[in-house]
Amino acid sequence: MTATRIELASRRDFLGGLFSAGALLFAAGTIPADAFAATEVSKTTWNPNLWIGLNSDGSVIIVTHRSEMGTGIRTSLPMVVADEMEADWSRVRIEQALGDTKYGSQNTDGSCSIRDFYDIMRETGATARLMLQRAAAAQWNVPVSECKASVHQVIHTPSGKKLGYGELASAAARQPLPKKEEVVLKPASEFRYIGKGVPSYDLKAMCTGKGIYGYDAQVPGMVYASIERSPVLGGKMKTFDDSAALKVAGVKQTVVMESAQPPYGFQALGGVAVIADNTWAASQGRKKLKIEWETGPHAIFSSDTYKKEMIETASKPQRVVRSLGDVDASFGSAAKLVEASYYTPLLAHAPMEPPAALAHFRDGKVEIWTATQNPQAVLTTVSAALGIKPEDVICHVTLLGGGFGRKSKPDYVAEAAILSKKLGKPVKVSWTREEDIRFDYFHATSAMYFKAGLDAAGKPQSWLQRTVYPPIGSIFDAKEQYGTGELSLGFLDMPFDVPNMRAENGPAEAHLRIGWLRSVANIYHAFGIQSFIDELAHASGKDPVEYWLAALGEPRTIDLGKQNAKYGNYGKPIDAYPLDTGRLRRVVEVVAERSGWANKKPGNGRAWGFAAHRSFLTYVAAVVEVEVDKAGKVRIPRVDIAVDCGSVIHPDRVKSQFEGAAVFGTSVAMLGEITAADGRVQQDNFSTYPVARINESPYETHIHLVPSEGLPTGAGEPGVPPMAPAIANAIFAATGKRIRELPIRKTKLV
């Protein structure tokens, strides 16, 4: 057995023992887990057994239910528990939860882990702390108020007597669970870790090659599968010949997998799997398959034609999704009219680790090890695919080698499970990069149209915006051509104070699987809106930041309900997380000051661009410096990003998310494009789908966290949307070339 196997086996044993018996926690385990069984997030608060284990040797186990794909969440949430519990971080071990609804949502997506679970983790830790204090008080026969918990021990303050957490474990476990109102959270002044941070729990493993990802999962007796899928979505196999494939050394057999039916959801796509002794043999065998496909209705899809159709749709009136005043009348009285259209292409996620899953079906149950953002979707998807109950699917979550939304769609996990059931042995499905890019759930392409009427002073008095994109909803309802979720991602919430405003949304049919990618529709909506406001500033001869702030208007909260808009606000109540233009203004002022915006003088191909955007309830403003050389090559020497994401739990990991978003946003702006012809995706690897490398990325990115005591909001995604427009606006300032289409590499700049 290797280290890989031991780790997986021990994790399985631990979690199996822990959660099937439900009794290990607080050592003596007198709290029956069933007493606190709950499926709703709010109810899980009162189940410290679910989250914390304390052994008599003082070691603490904290369960984390969110997936680690690079945000550091596997560290940050347990760190919150440890802080409130007064546990010594060096004595904490983190265990990754299995997929299970008892944890509340595990879908690590939408930049919501901290904002949805911060309070619950605090209450959980504080509950454990109180139980330890009470146990000590009972032992000393003194009032609880005289017992203070501090760094893994309880101290009787009048006498100075101390009891370690390990010594108290068994007695604490027999304490009745405190009522919610009895639990007192720490004041911020007493935080040890919250707001300060600890090194990532997986740091050492990641620097020594010991971290286990989905691609690394191994169990004895497993075989490797590589699957040939229809090159066109929804294609069916007509004929196949595996004779050459079966001659490849190491290939054992082939398995025909049923084609998925629309809507595709998270279903396995189907195709022909080649089963082999190792990954290499499986992929070599797959290349030798001869398959004829009946390609079906999506074979008509060509991204060039489709682009023209989308731009045409965006040029015409469409359904109104937000309306204020009378835009058309106001256009008639404008001193100046400005129009612009923008286009963004399909994008692939391309996480460094392509999709991979290991499944072992036996005795009517299937055990899975995979890199997933959404283990509960694994349970539902796999159980539906195998015709078994969700509770008969056991999903172990490994580290994820990047996710960006791709790994919340467990089609690849269903593939491994289907094959394991057919073969009766453990099967690992490992996608190649080519499969990852060709069979992605693509970020939608979009076409947008804008028109503004300016008064004599250059201020916008009327504003029309249209957006067209194939909707994500099409993977769940094949007829869907509008999609409402996307509208709440940076479109309905256009923040400028324009008295006459109309937002429209046109239809587009999907021919590929469309899915959410880091910051989702905010990518194109921010590109359109933040480019257009820059165009208006230049049309009016004003400084872009000054013009932007003037257009934003006085600090206020925007009530989109009064403008007939159904705004989602990232699933959060608008009164608790309002659309606050004062906070948006503040990040703009901070980034302008920290970047030295007012003193910048463009020249010699060097210039600065600006954009600001609220997404995932977080306010972000960016200033990007570009240098465009005589050959038209773009360099990004510096990026400044100001962020207001409410209270910051782990500052270094928040900063790292925004540093990374600056690079991800650079890939989106400069490089990324998926195209298709005859329904077939034309890119397949980093040669044809380039992403930003070290020499193409911002040389230095400075993150300025705006102090806030507000509710924590999102951090993983909101850094991405301002990047493309800020880069494009900088390039305009440097070269006079207005970028209205991504990626920028397609525009000749000199």
Partner 1 sequence: MIRLNVNGKSRDYQGDPEMPLLWYLRDVLELTGSKFGCGMGLCGACTVHVNGEATRSCLTSMQSLAGKEIVTIEGLSPHGDHPLQLAWEHHNVPQCGYCQSGQIMQAAALLKTKPKPGDQEIDAAMQGNICRCGTYQRIRAAIKTAAGIEVKA
Q: How far is the CB of 652 from partner 1 (least distance, A)?
A: 6
DSSP sequence for 126-195? HHHHHHHHHHHHHHHTS-GGGEEEETTEEEETTTTEEEEHHHHHHHHHTSPPPPGGG--PPPGGG-SSTT
Q: Which tokens is 433 given?
A: 């990069």
Judged by CB under 8 A, does residue 205 bind partner 1? Answer: yes
Closest CB to partner 1 among 71 and 530?
71
Which of the residues 634 through 663 are near partner 1 (CB under 8 A)? 652, 656-657, 659-663
- What are the distances in angstroms from CA 223 to CA 93, 242, 294, 428? 32, 18, 30, 6
Judged by CB under 8 A, does residue 350 bind partner 1? Answer: yes
Residues in contact with partner 1, shown as a per-residue x/- string from 564 to 593 under the rule CB under 8 A:
------------------------------
538 φ, ψ to 5°?
-70, -35
Q: How far is the CB of 438 from partner 1 (least distance, A)?
A: 14
Judged by CB under 8 A, does residue 90 bind partner 1? Answer: no
Judged by CB under 8 A, does residue 361 bind partner 1? Answer: no
Which of the residues 261 through 300 are near partner 1 (CB under 8 A)? 277-281, 283
**The binder of partner 1 chosen from 698, 718, 721, 722 (CB under 8 A):** 698
Judged by CB under 8 A, does residue 694 bind partner 1? Answer: yes
**The binder of partner 1 chosen from 145, 189, 208, 604 (CB under 8 A):** 208
Judged by CB under 8 A, does residue 210 bind partner 1? Answer: yes
Judged by CB under 8 A, does residue 77 bind partner 1? Answer: no
Judged by CB under 8 A, does residue 432 bind partner 1? Answer: yes
- Residue pair 469/487 in contact (Cβ under 8 Å)? The answer is no
Stretch that binds partner 1, among 142-150, 416-424, 432-440, 497-505 (CB under 8 A): 432-440
Judged by CB under 8 A, does residue 250 bind partner 1? Answer: yes
Judged by CB under 8 A, does residue 203 bind partner 1? Answer: yes
User: What DSSP character marks residue 353?
Assistant: S
Closest CB to partner 1 among 276 and 393?
276
Judged by CB under 8 A, does residue 682 bind partner 1? Answer: no
Judged by CB under 8 A, does residue 200 bind partner 1? Answer: yes
Stretch that binds partner 1, among 101-109, 212-220, 291-299, 525-533 (CB under 8 A): 212-220
Q: How far apart are the first and last CA of the chain?
A: 60
Judged by CB under 8 A, does residue 672 bind partner 1? Answer: no
- What are the distances in angstroms from CA 52 to CA 22, 128, 192? 12, 8, 18
Q: How far is the CB of 499 from partner 1 (least distance, A)?
A: 40
R_g (Cα) of the chain, nearest Å: 27
The amino acid present at 707, given as its one-letter code, is P
Judged by CB under 8 A, does residue 495 bind partner 1? Answer: no
Region label for 145, one of left (φ > 0), alpha (ψ between -120 and 50) or beta (otherwise):
alpha
Q: How far is the CB of 750 from partner 1 (least distance, A)?
A: 23
Q: Which tokens is 431 given?
A: 């996608």
Closest CB to partner 1 among 154 and 692?
692
- Cis-peptide into 176, omega within 30 deg: no
Q: Where are the beta strands (DSSP E) in 265-314?
A: 271-276, 290-294
Judged by CB under 8 A, does residue 212 bind partner 1? Answer: yes
**The binder of partner 1 chosen from 235, 285, 345, 401 (CB under 8 A):** 401
- What are the distances in angstroms from CA 451 to CA 276, 339, 412, 448? 58, 4, 43, 10
Q: How far is the CB of 632 from partner 1 (least distance, A)?
A: 19
What number of chain residues touch partner 1 (CB under 8 A)? Answer: 72
Largest Cα–Cα distance in the chain? Answer: 84
- Residue pair 445/345 in contact (Cβ under 8 Å)? The answer is yes
Stretch that binds partner 1, among 68-76, 110-118, 357-365, 669-677 (CB under 8 A): 68-76
Judged by CB under 8 A, does residue 691 bind partner 1? Answer: yes
Nearest one of 179, 146, 151 to 164, comparing CA atoms = 151
Burial label, 693 (beta-carbon count in 10 A; 0-12, 13-18, 19+): exposed
Q: How far is the CB of 73 from partner 1 (least distance, A)?
A: 11
- What are the distances in angstroms from CA 343 to CA 446, 447, 539, 741? 6, 5, 21, 5
Judged by CB under 8 A, does residue 315 bind partner 1? Answer: no
Residues in contact with partner 1, shown as a per-residue x/- string from 549 to 568 under the rule CB under 8 A:
--------------------
CA angle 230–232–234, rounded 5-degree value: 75
Residues 6+ positions from 415 with CB-CB distance below 8 Å? 225, 227, 257, 268, 269, 273, 357, 429
Judged by CB under 8 A, does residue 457 bind partner 1? Answer: no
